[in-house]
A and B are shown apart, each in its own frame.
Chain A
Amino acid sequence: MYKKFTAFGCSCFSYASLKILLKVKLITIILLSAFLQVQASGYAQTVSLSVNKVNLKEVFRQLRKQTGYGFLYREADLKDTRPVSLELRNAPLDEVLERCLANQPLTYHIEKNFVMIRRKPDLGSAVTVPGIIIQGKVTDEKGEPLAGVSIRVKNIRQSTVSNTKGEYKINVPNEDAVLVFSYIGFEVQERKVLKSTVINVSLKEKNTGLNEVVVTALNISREQRSLGYSAQVIDSVALNVAPTDNWLNALEGKVAGLTLNRADGPMGSSDIILRGDKSLQLGNSGALVVIDGVPVSNKITASGAGAYVSDNAPIDMGTGIGDVNPEDIASVSVLKGAAATALYGSRGANGAIVIVTKSGSSQKGLGISFSSSTAIENVNRLPDYQYEYGAGANSGIDYYSYGTSDSGANTSNANASWGPKLNTGVKYYQYDPATQGQGAEPTDWIAYPDNRKNFFRTGFKTSNTISIEGGSKTTKARFSVANQQNTYILENVGYQRTSVNLSLDQQINKDMKIATKVNYYNKSSDNLPTTGYSNKSASYFLLWTTPNVDTEWYRDYWKITNGIRQVDIEQNRPFNKNPDNPYFALYEILNPMKRNGLFGNINFSYKISPFLNFTAKTAIDMYDDVLSNRFPKSSDSYSQGFYREQNVIRYERNSDFLLSYNRPFNRDVKFGLSVGGNSMSSSYNRTRAYVNRLLIPGQYTLANRVDRPVIDAYKENKAINSLYAFTNLSYKEYIFLELTARNDWSSVFASNNNSYFYPSANLSLVLSDMFKVNSSVLSFAKLRLSYAEVGSDTNPYRIEKFYSASNFSSSITNPTSLPNYELKPERTKSYETGLEARFLRNRIGLDLTCYLADTYDQILSVPVEPASGYYYYYMNAGTVRNNGVEVQLWGKLLESKKGLSWKINFNGAINRGKILELKEEIESLGLYAMGSTGVSLQAVKGGSIGDIYGLAYQRNENGDIVYANGVPQLTTEIQKVGNAVPKFKGGIGQEFRYKSWTMNILFDGEFGHQKYSLSNSMLMARGNSKATLPGREEGGILGKGVVQNDDGTWRPNDIVVSPSVYYAAHYDRTNAEANVFDASYIKFREFRIDKSFSSKSLQKVGFKKASIGLYGRDLFVWTKWPGFDPQNGTLNDGTIVQGIEIGQLPSTRNMGVNIRFSL
């Protein structure tokens, strides 16, 4: 009873609160300092001990070797303890500890894998000593109360610990006494008592970052030092510096080697690319995203198809992963290489993002916290439009007339701005929005500067999260509710998302535990924007409008005929008839969506014996999407109106088990073996129905139709079963070796090819410990080496030929892609080596990684000669080699006693993706083509990933551009004109702290890559860019180039052409060379300034802590890019295409305020 008392009784509240803090601190930081000694390793639960009069220190050492538990204690506390004599065999650790500490002034507590040893709180005896009673409160720098802080009186055996509120009370003999405050992870502080009886103390966090714990594959927590491969951890604070629509985007600039391919629009879906594209199929290189051990879909739900002049233009409806509330995330581990993810199997081949969500804590009482962000959003960059010349089809047109007038024939249908000069005082007959026709009188021919900018409004976003947590000794629970509202920069566009998250953790008995995490979310939007270059997209309209037009004139978007507004029947397109009226497009061509999603898992773990652990888990990720698209009559794509509904139900189940055996061989060698299995089954069901002609205008249901609705359904089912094993060996805590093996069986292959095996190995050498380096310069050094193979499968239904249903009755047709029964798994082999080092007492850190990964036997849909009857044949072909270097550097540049600190960290990555091999008969593989313009992404043997191809200027042998009739000529064959993969990308983040103030600044950038811009072509060829002004006054331009003489020699071009001819010929969209630009950029990515409060008044109101922060995201962009944003990709057919910009939406600047408090 007494033992129980010491362990959990009188000090239980402080231990309970200690747990919370330990959870926070231990996961991220374990301290090595003069005061505390930490040693940690694997864990075993029973011990045998045979000691005779051995001091406690030695006993702890032996226990550590046997159990793998780290022991935390202060040297001083062991001073006056008695030697131990004990004889125990296979006794539980608890028992051994209790026996050892019986009759000692010590007590213990087990948290995670550590045994904390501390003095027994001496509250009782304090009363007996006469003197002064001092009380106060201990907090951290942010004013958050610290529980479990040890407070002792210097040179006297008198001590206590702070309670959950951080309060303490201690008896001191006199005014000269000195109180010593110490706490794990914090610097020790001494305070003289003097005359005060209240001493409040704010402890400063130690600068550490030493033994970080990383959540690796299969959700296994490992110490950073034991990993033989690169893994980077981002904590929830870093994720929430400047909240974004899709939290993934908060990783931007923070992880070396991570690239986000982002789509346009409010949802901000992105593909996560780690260490470059490995696949020759677009959209196939994305990293796996795992939440609490559950792979969650990062598949983009996109309505629509092609981005380039398609009736069915793409719309980004978001991803499952984007719907996670960032406030629920505890940490994110980025496992970049195949070695890190060999245990995730097929889907981990491209690396993995492993997310751990927040759990409850076993603190007593409630913990309620609230976070609220409100932000505004506006366009952060516009192309350089010209506002000097108005509409006119070509340079020969020297007047303007809306409709036929005294000035001449109608010129207002021009889509170009080669017309008369604006703002000269001249008057023309122009459009009158009031009458939707020609103005009664000629009006001033003026520019409407900012007419494009004013088309966008200021977006507004709010996000609120409330979470409640609490628990007891055996139960931990956390519950959160969040709501997010977004109104986008385009009118009538936005969405809302509500999510509910529950985490429950129950210790059934001392060996068994069940836990569950469930996340439900509901997302809906009344309208999401159409992207790409098509008549109804906002970007299309902006490329077609001219400077003499006020976009406000389009607001009255129904046509008035004979005084009657043709609501639902005919739109008003006052100027060129190609773009839909933009307000008609935003308010009437609607793309609403609704999604209900759920992901979560149920986890059972059982400690079969002290050395043997069993866990089993079932997880599910599912969602149900209801999307629709509506087009009123008279819309450009569907003149008779159109309505479509699409329902998607997707689910994926993962069930797995893991049996782990861990037992140290002896004091130096530790061994662990785990065997596990996983069964995955997924299904995707999509039903789509549309009606192409509406019976009654303005009503959008499948019943409102002229013809029968056309229905198509698509299903995809897949299963993968796997068995895996891994073993960990360590020697003296400085050599760590891990070997893994996995076999997958995938249902997508034929039975003779559906089983595939792959191994991996990684080694970590802690050099600084190996060679016992004890230097003030080098604090830590570690070398990593790894090798891994991974096999991947593909989409189902590629092994056997099936006929497709045709829309004609009683009719089927051959597929155009020929399946291949012999398909076998795609393979990746990767090698990685890395060095971690820290200098100057851990004030400067370096992490360097080199890697090489070959992805071969890629499963590709390879174009074949159509005379064979097929366009494509699925086969294993092609090898892509990615190699690169990643660097992370961090340093604490300033750390003053007054509380000022300055931290800086830098990350950078270089990746080169080479196509080593394609199949012999394949010259090149088209990855994406922009219609029939020749502009495309091609994979060619010996070329690089991301090579942009297209027609270029035809040149003579001297490299001069060949002209004919005054305009440049183009090559007849496509050639390489650029590469879309940055040569280098990196970010620099800084953190400044001063007392309760914190400031974060992040810049990042990508350099040395190119991108094709359709927007540039349109703006140049139509005279809407400032760059088309030269030559206008003169009325003609003599192009710089040569013309061929009859005898084959060259003479300089001698034909002057008008600006409209000149620019249209140069920047024609098929001229890839002229429209490819350096897409390098630097972005001021994140900014935040935070103030935390810890004043007493705050606490009187009942707050534990509170903070307010101002933040900004994507504040400025520096780039030569001629369009809106050099970074965003083009959403096309559900994948994001990099390198070819096809009418993009602007990128936005976000500025907001974030308030947090907890009760």
Chain B
Amino acid sequence: MKKVIYAGIAILILSYGCTKDFDKLSQNPNAIKQGSAATLLSQTIYNGLISRIRAARAVGNELMGYTVYKNERAYTQRFDIRNTLGNDLWNRHYTTLTNLEDMYNRGMAEGNANYQAVALTLKAWLVSELTDTFRDIPYFEASKGDSLNFLPAYNTQEEIYKDLLENLDKAALMFDNSKTMSAEGDILYGSKGSNALQVTAWRKFCNSLRLRLYLRVSNAPEFDGPAKINEIVSNSSVFPIFTTAADQAYIPFTNQEPLYNPYYNATSGDFGVLYAPSTTILQMMQDTADPRLSQYYTRAVSTWTGIKSGFPSGVLGQVTEGGTSYVNYNLHDSPRFGVIMNYDEVQFILAEAALKG
């Protein structure tokens, strides 16, 4: 009897030291170890879009006077740019870029050039927004957290634009109709109907984006912007661009899971009431009898009342006395914010390019 117990104890002790099931236990059952390039697309596009909308609302609208935040600490409308103001765009765009880094590498491993090209295109979209906002930013060393580089070096805007454009030039020629793209993993162009149409749509987006970036650097001779624009426009078979509104990079929010307007659940107070239009924009829209006026804003009591953009600290009570017009709450679930690049912009680019010669 005793021997049995001793033996039992010995076995118990031995088995205790054992850690052989641990490998299995340490695997995360809630996530996915590795996915194809195609799987990294939809969420990436949506993330980029949302960051852009949020930045527009928090920064762009205030600086442009589309809105004036009705708060004592409304720094931005006063052009008092606080350190944290750009965090949202910076943080979101950079973490989104990780997916594109992976997509490019997976695309290469899978031998699917389309995803390499898509990754380069989307990267150019996001990085150009970052460098346009912040000028010099980490670029070549960015998104290298996986290799433990947590302090990426900064690069100049010139270097960045140069690389982005080179990549876009390369991407524009990489698209290949014979390589399959996943239709259901593509919220932007997955519904085009056929693989060829889907790839072509991406190709159009890529070239349209090239137009945007080349126009932006058209005054810097080293980029050869005008010639490049000319090359794109005159080779529409090799470099197709948006030619109808159906081509544009636009995702209407269905407000069905997961494709929500980011303000879908925002309250009327948080979304609209605290944001008044500036007197300038109100005046402009009233002068031109702009039909968008009542789409964008809600009347105060009976009149259109704005706030002068740039009101100083301490006068909030005075400027808001009697109430102001404010941002139309209907916009919080509007499907129309999902614009990456629309057809109108391409038309404007072409017009501007033509104007500049």
| Interface residue ranges, A against B (CB under 8 Å) | 309, 311, 394-396, 409, 535, 577-578, 606, 608, 614, 636-638, 657, 659, 677, 679, 692, 706-708, 710, 713-715, 717-719, 721-723, 745, 747-751, 754-755, 796-797, 799-816, 818, 864-871, 873, 921, 932, 964-967, 969-970, 972-973, 1055, 1057-1058, 1060-1061, 1064-1065, 1068, 1070
B124-182 contacts to A (CB < 8 Å) = 137-138, 142-146, 149-152, 182
Chain B residues, Cβ within 8 Å of A754: 19, 22
User: B5 is contacted by which of A535, A608, A868 (Cβ under 8 Å)?
Assistant: A608
**Complex CA–CA separation, A1121 to B314 (angstroms):** 28
Tell me, yes or no, whether B44 is within 8 Å of chain A by CB.
Answer: yes
Q: Is the CB of A805 within 8 A of B19?
A: no
**Interface-central residue, A679, A715, A815, A868, by most chain B CB under 10 Å:** A868
**Complex CA–CA separation, A494 to B41 (angstroms):** 47
**Complex CA–CA separation, A715 to B31 (angstroms):** 10
Nearest chain A CB to B246 CB, angstrom units: 22
Chain B residues, Cβ within 8 Å of A811: 39-43, 185
Nearest chain A CB to B38 CB, angstrom units: 7
Q: List 8 A-B contacts (CB under 8 A).
A: A606-B5, A723-B13, A745-B22, A806-B258, A812-B40, A866-B91, A869-B101, A870-B98
Q: Is the CB of A867 within 8 A of B317?
A: no
B207-215, B217-225, B264-272, B276-284 - the one binding chain A: B264-272
Tell me, yes or no, whether B27 is within 8 Å of chain A by CB.
Answer: yes
Q: Is the CB of A867 within 8 A of B30?
A: no
Q: Is the CB of B31 within 8 A of A1061?
A: no
**Complex CA–CA separation, A678 to B110 (angstroms):** 47
B13-66 contacts to A (CB < 8 Å) = 13, 16-19, 21-23, 25-35, 38-44, 46-47
Q: Is the CB of B16 within 8 A of A679?
A: yes
Q: Is the CB of A818 within 8 A of B137?
A: no
Given A811-B39, A813-B40, A964-B314, answer yes or no on A921-B265 (Cβ-Cβ < 8 Å). Answer: no
User: B314 is contacted by which of A638, A706, A1057 (Cβ under 8 Å)?
Assistant: A1057
Q: Is the CB of A1068 within 8 A of B73?
A: yes
Given A806-B42, A814-B95, A965-B315, answer yes or no on A869-B151 (Cβ-Cβ < 8 Å). Answer: no
Q: Is the CB of A810 within 8 A of B39?
A: yes
Beyond A748-B26, A932-B84, A965-B313, 7 extra complex contacts between A and B, CB < 8 Å: A638-B265, A708-B257, A722-B16, A807-B257, A811-B39, A868-B149, A921-B151
B298-327 contacts to A (CB < 8 Å) = 301, 312-317, 320-321, 323
**Complex CA–CA separation, A1060 to B316 (angstroms):** 10
Chain A residues, Cβ within 8 Å of B9: 614, 657, 659
Chain B residues, Cβ within 8 Å of A970: 73
Q: Is the CB of A804 within 8 A of B317?
A: no
Nearest chain B CB to A929 CB, angstrom units: 11
Q: Is the CB of A803 within 8 A of B150?
A: no
Q: Is the CB of B42 within 8 A of A799?
A: no
Chain A residues, Cβ within 8 Å of B354: none
User: B317 is contacted by which of A396, A708, A714, A969 (Cβ under 8 Å)?
Assistant: A396
**Complex CA–CA separation, A395 to B33 (angstroms):** 60
Q: Is the CB of A577 within 8 A of B268?
A: yes
Q: Is the CB of A812 within 8 A of B313?
A: no
Tell me, yes or no, whether B90 is within 8 Å of chain A by CB.
Answer: yes
4 cross-chain pairs, A with B, having the tightest CB-CB distances, nearest first: A965-B314, A807-B258, A802-B31, A810-B185
Chain B residues, Cβ within 8 Å of A1064: 72, 316-317
Nearest chain B CB to A133 CB, angstrom units: 54
Chain A residues, Cβ within 8 Å of B320: 394
B 84-109 binary contact with A (CB < 8 Å = 1; else 0): 10000011001101110110000000
**Complex CA–CA separation, A453 to B138 (angstroms):** 56
Q: Is the CB of A801 within 8 A of B317?
A: no
Nearest chain B CB to A571 CB, angstrom units: 13
Tell me, yes or no, whether B12 is within 8 Å of chain A by CB.
Answer: yes
Q: Is the CB of B25 within 8 A of A717?
A: yes
Q: Is the CB of A801 within 8 A of B146?
A: yes
Tell me, yes or no, whether B184 is within 8 Å of chain A by CB.
Answer: yes
Chain A residues, Cβ within 8 Å of B315: 965
Q: Is the CB of A869 within 8 A of B145?
A: yes
The residue of chain B having its C-beta at the shortest distance from the C-beta of A799 within the complex is B26
Q: Is the CB of B97 within 8 A of A797?
A: no
Q: Is the CB of B33 within 8 A of A751?
A: no
User: B31 is contacted by which of A309, A708, A803, A867 (Cβ under 8 Å)?
Assistant: A803
State the main secondary structure of chain A at its contact with B.
Answer: loop
**Complex CA–CA separation, A801 to B102 (angstroms):** 13
Q: Is the CB of B97 within 8 A of A1070?
A: no
The residue of chain A having its C-beta at the shortest distance from the C-beta of B142 within the complex is A867
User: A719 is contacted by which of B21, B144, B145, B323 (Cβ under 8 Å)?
Assistant: B21
Nearest chain A CB to B223 CB, angstrom units: 24
Tell me, yes or no, whether B2 is within 8 Å of chain A by CB.
Answer: yes
Nearest chain A CB to B274 CB, angstrom units: 11
Tell me, yes or no, whether B83 is within 8 Å of chain A by CB.
Answer: yes
Tell me, yes or no, whether B187 is within 8 Å of chain A by CB.
Answer: yes
Given A614-B5, A1065-B314, answer yes or no on A747-B25 (Cβ-Cβ < 8 Å). Answer: yes
Tell me, yes or no, whether B256 is within 8 Å of chain A by CB.
Answer: yes
Query: Could you say which interface size class chain B belongs to?
Result: 35 or more
Given A608-B2, A657-B12, A677-B12, answer yes or no on A868-B145 (Cβ-Cβ < 8 Å). Answer: yes
Chain B residues, Cβ within 8 Å of A394: 317, 320-321
Q: Is the CB of B5 within 8 A of A869?
A: no
Q: Is the CB of A1055 within 8 A of B314?
A: yes
Q: Is the CB of A805 within 8 A of B31?
A: yes
**Complex CA–CA separation, A718 to B29 (angstroms):** 12
Q: Is the CB of B42 within 8 A of A809?
A: yes
Q: Is the CB of B22 within 8 A of A707?
A: no
Nearest chain A CB to B129 CB, angstrom units: 14
Tell me, yes or no, whether B82 is within 8 Å of chain A by CB.
Answer: yes
Q: Is the CB of B73 within 8 A of A1070?
A: yes
**Complex CA–CA separation, A723 to B13 (angstroms):** 8
Chain B residues, Cβ within 8 Å of A747: 19, 21-22, 25-26
Nearest chain B CB to A816 CB, angstrom units: 5
Chain A residues, Cβ within 8 Å of B2: 608
Chain A residues, Cβ within 8 Å of B138: 865, 867
Given A745-B19, A808-B187, A921-B150, answer yes or no on A964-B95 (Cβ-Cβ < 8 Å). Answer: no
User: B35 is contacted by which of A714, A803, A967, A1068 (Cβ under 8 Å)?
Assistant: A803
Q: Is the CB of A395 within 8 A of B150?
A: no
Q: Is the CB of B43 within 8 A of A812?
A: yes
User: B313 is contacted by which of A723, A799, A868, A967 (Cβ under 8 Å)?
Assistant: A967
**Complex CA–CA separation, A814 to B16 (angstroms):** 36
Q: Is the CB of B145 within 8 A of A809?
A: no
Nearest chain B CB to A178 CB, angstrom units: 56
**Interface-central residue, B16, B35, B149, by most chain A CB under 10 Å:** B16
Chain A residues, Cβ within 8 Å of B269: 577-578
Chain A residues, Cβ within 8 Å of B145: 818, 864, 868-870, 873
User: A1061 is contacted by which of B35, B43, B314 (Cβ under 8 Å)?
Assistant: B314
Q: Is the CB of A808 within 8 A of B321?
A: no
B 63-82 binary contact with A (CB < 8 Å = 1; else 0): 00000000011000000001
Chain B residues, Cβ within 8 Å of A714: 30
The residue of chain A having its C-beta at the shortest distance from the C-beta of B143 within the complex is A869
User: B94 is contacted by which of A396, A804, A869, A1068 (Cβ under 8 Å)?
Assistant: A869
Chain A residues, Cβ within 8 Å of B312: 964-965
Q: Is the CB of B144 within 8 A of A868?
A: yes
The residue of chain A having its C-beta at the shortest distance from the C-beta of B25 within the complex is A747
Chain A residues, Cβ within 8 Å of B22: 719, 745, 747, 751, 754
Q: Is the CB of B32 within 8 A of A964?
A: no
**Complex CA–CA separation, A717 to B25 (angstroms):** 6
Q: Is the CB of A813 within 8 A of B43?
A: yes
Q: Is the CB of B16 within 8 A of A1065?
A: no
**Complex CA–CA separation, A989 to B313 (angstroms):** 53
Given A311-B265, A810-B39, answer yes or no on A818-B16 (Cβ-Cβ < 8 Å). Answer: no
**Interface-central residue, A796, A867, A964, A1060, by most chain B CB under 10 Å:** A867
Nearest chain A CB to B106 CB, angstrom units: 11
Nearest chain A CB to B119 CB, angstrom units: 13
Nearest chain A CB to B293 CB, angstrom units: 22
